[in-house]
Structure 1
Amino acid sequence: MRRRTTVLTATAVAGSLALLTGCGAADMTKQASPFANAGGTKSVTLSVQSWVGAQSNVAVARYLLEHKLGYRVDTVQVDEVPAWDALSQGRVDAIMEDWGHPDQEKRYVEDKKTIAHGGDLGVTGHIGWFVPTYLAKQHPDITNWKNLNKYASLFRTAESGGKGQLMDGSPSYVTNDRALVNNLKLDYQVVFAGSEAAQITQMKQFAKEKKPFLTYWYAPQWLFKKVPLTEVKLPPYKDGCDADPAKITCAYPHTPLQKYLNADFARSGGKAAAFLKKFRWTTEDQDEVSLMIADQKLSPEDAAKKWVDSHPSVWKRWLS
């Protein structure tokens, strides 16, 4: 979600996500697909990361690969950094949504050349700190980080040790939040919900009771349609301001999300590789599928089918 610096920053959504995704450090020797990079086999293996937006990309790509191109598609649950290792080794063929890992990109794309760019996903990701809009309307100045200490008592919880709580999701996400709290001298404690699903549950419950909360969150994300949120302005992001994670004092960047392919697959993956390179949709498209999976409780395949049936003008371009 997500380096959801980055992480998102996504985060399994309960039930449907639990079947396909996970957020811990993945052991790819145990989870590697038996089909990945199999010579002569018309198959594709996609990495599934642990936030619902990433699952939506994979669900739609999988549906079209299987039903329009005749491929067998396998998915592997894997965390963000291990996914790069798996992709380099040919254990998976593609990552559909990466939020920016410059160290991994330099190592595998530029130096080793075992991973190739797969193009823009078409979605721009952004991580930030958010409060519910109903709270921002009550206290308009709460949306400036300089005023957060003034309101710290509003956000105290049993887990925050007498300080205000800044709610994060999974501990596996790479976030800047602890450094930001320390460097900006904020009277807050970062408290991890444990996963995207747990974080969503807490946010929905707080919103139902109109309670104050401050949370690390990210867009695109379907929950914005259910719980209106307003971003807290952190010191503006400038190139290089996050170069030293320990000294960070700036906001998270806006990141055009990228796809990456195993280099051998990019060269010899035929129609599947060509399709994945052309796969490009909007934030609205992704949110539509995510909402069906996470909120309406459709299976990923059913959500993908519903989206495919209603958007032929979008996906037909990916097959041409």
Structure 2
Amino acid sequence: MTRQASPYAAVKGTKSVTLSVQSWVGAQANVAVVRYLLEHELGYRVDTVQVDEVPAWDALSQGRVDAMLEDWGHPEQEQRYVKDKKTIVPGGDLGVTGHIGWFVPKYFADAHPDVTDWRNLDKYAEEFRTAESGGKGQLMDGSPSYVTNDKALVKNLKLDYQVVFAGSEAAQITQMKQFAKEKKPFLTYWYTPQWLSRQIPMTEVKLPAYEEGCDADPEKVACAYPHTPLKKFLNQRFADEGGEAAALLKRFRWTTEQQNEVALLIADQKLSPQEAAERWVEKNEATWRKWLPAKG
């Protein structure tokens, strides 16, 4: 964990909630809006802990955080903590479907339509080459902590590419914006939903079709990423004893467009998460009012 767990987590009798927040801005948008409603509508003290994807499961199981609002699919952790240990329970769908893939900017795909088939990628390796890619084409990834099969895919599909990590979502976005400003070609690991796709239209490169189980062995992956309905998970004790807060988190469900709206305010317009949430809440009462637990 990158920050100390909240001293308020799991303190009996305290009207408080501790939320896990991942480093990408869509996850920050979820937490910002839920936090605003918990504090201003239900009177809770809310603390957040920034933690990477896999360690978040450990923190949730141990009660160091009460809820995780956006999981992109971790079947091993789900088996261990939900099915075997029963320390974590599903909190329902977020309402957003996530998809990871390889993308090129639309301006490059329009000029070179065949680039959208992975079998033609080597043809463009030289155009995608950078100082960091060691003479090969660059496949740009974000944070090394994100779910990615890219190194295995490059190896197993025998592509003349090198995976280069930008280091974080923010660093990746900065590079993508610079490439787009100069209308340069680039190939990148990317995902939807993501607010930047409004500003830099992207076209997906078709990898070999995803089939159930084709990604079971991380070393042998040679297929596309699945489309994943994003899910919420709650600490088991919190789910049972968390009162109105737990009820709100279970009922929280919004659309890709709504998440992107808040993410855009945070990442592009540089509002604080609290300011972005307040602006969205003011305009969308018909949506969030349904998430509040019914008064006894």
Answer whether TM exceeds 0.5 for this pair. Answer: yes
| 2:122 aligned with 1:149 | yes
Indicate yes or no: 2:196 matched with 1:223.
yes
Deviations 1:129-160 (A, max 9, x none): 00000000000000100000011110011111
- 1:193 aligned partner: 166
* 1:125 pairs with 2:82: no
Partner of 2:208: 235
Tell me the alpha carbon deviations over residues 100-130 of structure 1, each in whole angstroms, 9 at most, x when there is no partner. 1111011111111100110000000000000
Q: How many residues align?
A: 293
Partner Cα distance (1:271, 1:191) in 2: 44
Q: Which residue of 2 aligns with 1:158?
A: 131
Matched to 1:65, the amino acid is L
Question: What does residue 19 of structure 2 align with?
Answer: 46
- Structure 2 distance, partners of 1:106, 1:179, is 24
Query: In structure 1, what is the Cα distance between the partners aligned to 2:147 and 2:206?
Result: 20
Cα deviation code 1:151-170 (max 9, x no counterpart): 11100111111100000001
Equivalent-residue separation in structure 1 for 2:4 and 2:209 (angstroms): 40
Q: Counterpart of 1:199 in structure 2: which amino acid?
A: Q
Residue number among 66, 80, 92 corresponding to 1:93 in the alignment: 66
Give the Cα–Cα distance (whole angstroms) in 1 for the partners of residues 147 and 174 of structure 2. 21
Q: Does 1:180 align with 2:160?
A: no
The answer to whether residue 15 in structure 2 is matched with residue 72 in structure 1 is no
Looking at structure 1, the residues matched to 132 and 56 of structure 2 have their Cα atoms a distance apart, in angstroms, of 32
| Deviation at residue 317 of structure 1 after TM alignment | 0.4
Shift of residue 174, structure 1, vs aligned partner? 3.0
- Following the alignment from structure 1 to structure 2, what is the Cα–Cα distance between the partners of residues 315 and 195? 31
After TM superposition, the structure 1 = structure 2 runs for residues 9-88 of structure 1, keeping only pairs within 5 Å, are 26=1, 31-88=4-61
Q: Tell me how far 1:31 sits from its aligned partner.
A: 1.1
Moved over 2 A (4+): none
Report the alpha carbon displacement of residue 171 of structure 1 after superposing the two structures with TM.
1.3
**How far apart are the structure 2 equivalents of 1:284 and 1:172?**
26
**1:211 aligned residue (180, 184, 207):** 184
Q: Which amino acid in 1 is paired with 2:86?
A: K
State TM-score, norm by structure 2. Answer: 0.98
Amino acid at match of 2:163: V
Give the root-mean-square deviation of aligned CA atoms.
0.7
Match of 1:112 among 79, 85, 96: 85
Written as runs of structure 1 = structure 2, the 5 A alignment for 1:240-259 is 240-259=213-232
Counterpart code for 2:146: Y
User: Identity of aligned pairs, percent?
Assistant: 77
Matching residue's letter, 1:223: L
Secondary structure of the equivalent of 1:54?
helix
Paired amino acid for 1:132: P
Return the alpha-carbon distance in structure 1 between the equivalents of residues 94 and 43 of structure 2. Answer: 23
What letter is aligned with 1:114?
T
TM-score normalised according to structure 1 size: 0.91
Summarize the alignment of residues 278-297 of structure 1 with structure 2, pairs less than 5 Å apart: 278-297=251-270
List per-residue Cα deviations over 1:208-228 (Å, max 9, x = no partner). Answer: 000000000001100001111
Listed as ranges, the gaps of 5+ residues in structure 1 are 1-25
Give secondary structure in 2 for the equivalent of 1:316. helix
Per the alignment, residue 249 of structure 2 pairs with: 276
- Pairwise CA distance, 1:193: 0.5
